Structure 1
């Protein structure tokens, strides 16, 4: 966790949003924001572009952290599914525990470096497109290694496909990603939340979602978790469900949390401010 001067804590998210004064505070763990705001003439050529965005050495480190965290998530999560498919020893609850515990571990490992998004549906809310690129690359490489390890003829068991109808899985993916993002917004952007518990809160949410949604939709909640295995296994059945559902759910979850975020403004002030922006 990154400690601030006022002795409060953040969990390393890209930005902390203050509704009271409408300004964005930079997290100590994110030199990316400094790179964006620093004028080009002050950078003395030290900042290059990554995916069209200014990048300092710190931002490169953040991309590496996102790659490593996403790789381990997909390797461990999809790996336990593949192993369980072969011998059944992991069991379904064990699979859910692995996904949740892996996310929790990565949040504590690299949360103070990159924010530990590990998910494009989360990243899109923080406007860091370069993260999305490395997340997809990491997921694809992890899926490819698993396929090579467990025989090329073995179907990639970790490909997410609806058990029921596509609409049923779409709605379920929307809802579970909604609540995942709702929890992330609470522990990542609200100073009133206990930032040190971010790993447990987010990991626990993923575990719970996987336990009840896994048998129906596969409980993806993460576009690259579905895209990576699908690309390696050449199995694109209903892939759109696992792209649209999580992105829409994450956007709605972030919006919903902002509705209940603490503010000292009156309803009239908020309404007037909204009308001016429109």
Structure 2
């Protein structure tokens, strides 16, 4: 809960603060905020909860045996509650409607769906690789994961809003009661995450020639 709260509050904060200046959040600012927040969370709470702040990641890791299914419902509930609390806090701090913090497609539903799916595929593949092969990057794993998320947000931002996280989109949607095309952000990241974890599993099982 705490991790998702911090993540959504930081992401919503950069969006809201730029709106208060009368401009839209620059994509680079948004991506940098997302990436840096993940880096901070990995190094601060990674040893406590595994830094699970994304339901798509939690489901994918459980599906391939990297996380116990028995803990998935509680983790997802905590992630959603953390996102809702962050959206409410964002409204209180910045005095704006939570509509500003919702994610919306920029290039149509199909393009947004594919963008979210591909981005989560990449991110989860990277996460699986660096966490399951600790010796390859060692203490730099948090930086690698944060950079992959920042990159994913950069390439998906103009198309889908760069959510990559069902909880990140659902919290502000619940608070604002705006569920327009929310299905994209609830399904595409999960499918992409599952495919990313599957690809890593397949490559790990391939014999070295």
Shared fold per TM-score greater than 0.5: yes
Counterpart-to-counterpart distance in 2, 1:208 and 1:76:
17
| Corresponding pairs, count | 199
Q: Is the 8 Å Cα contact of residues 223 and 246 (structure 1) preserved in structure 2?
A: yes
- Over aligned residues, Cα RMSD in angstroms? 1.9
Which is higher, the Rg of structure 1 or of structure 2?
1
Deviation of the 1:209 alpha carbon: 1.1
Question: Paired residue for 1:140?
Answer: 84
Residues 1:235 and 1:90: Cα distance change in structure 2 (over 3 Å): closer
Deviation of the 1:91 alpha carbon: 3.0
The alignment status of 1:106 with 2:41, answered yes or no, reads yes
Deviation of the 1:262 alpha carbon: 5.6
Deviation of the 1:260 alpha carbon: 1.1
Q: Which of 193, 198, 208 is matched with 1:250 structurally?
A: 193
Q: Which of 79, 82, 85 is matched with 2:19 structurally?
A: 85
Counterpart-to-counterpart distance in 2, 1:89 and 1:139:
21
Question: Paired residue for 1:72?
Answer: 6
Gaps of 5+ in 2: 62-66
Q: Which of 163, 169, 174 is matched with 2:117 structurally?
A: 174
TM-score, reference length from structure 1 = 0.68
Q: Which of the two has greater helix per residue?
A: 2
Residues 1:105 and 1:179: Cα distance change in structure 2 (over 3 Å): same
Counterpart-to-counterpart distance in 1, 2:42 and 2:133:
17
Question: Paired residue for 1:240?
Answer: 183
Counterpart-to-counterpart distance in 2, 1:111 and 1:157:
30
Please give the per-residue CA displacement for 1:150-201, whole angstroms capped at 9, x wherever unaligned. Answer: 225x353120111121111001100000000000100112344323122111
Gaps of 5+ in 1: 1-66, 267-278
Residues 1:191 and 1:149: Cα distance change in structure 2 (over 3 Å): closer
Residue correspondence of structure 1 range 254-265 to structure 2 within 5 A: 254-261=197-204
The alignment status of 1:115 with 2:21, answered yes or no, reads no
Paired residue secondary structure (1:235): coil
Paired residue secondary structure (2:18): helix
Higher relative contact order (CA 8 A, sep 6+): 2
Counterpart-to-counterpart distance in 2, 1:209 and 1:72:
19
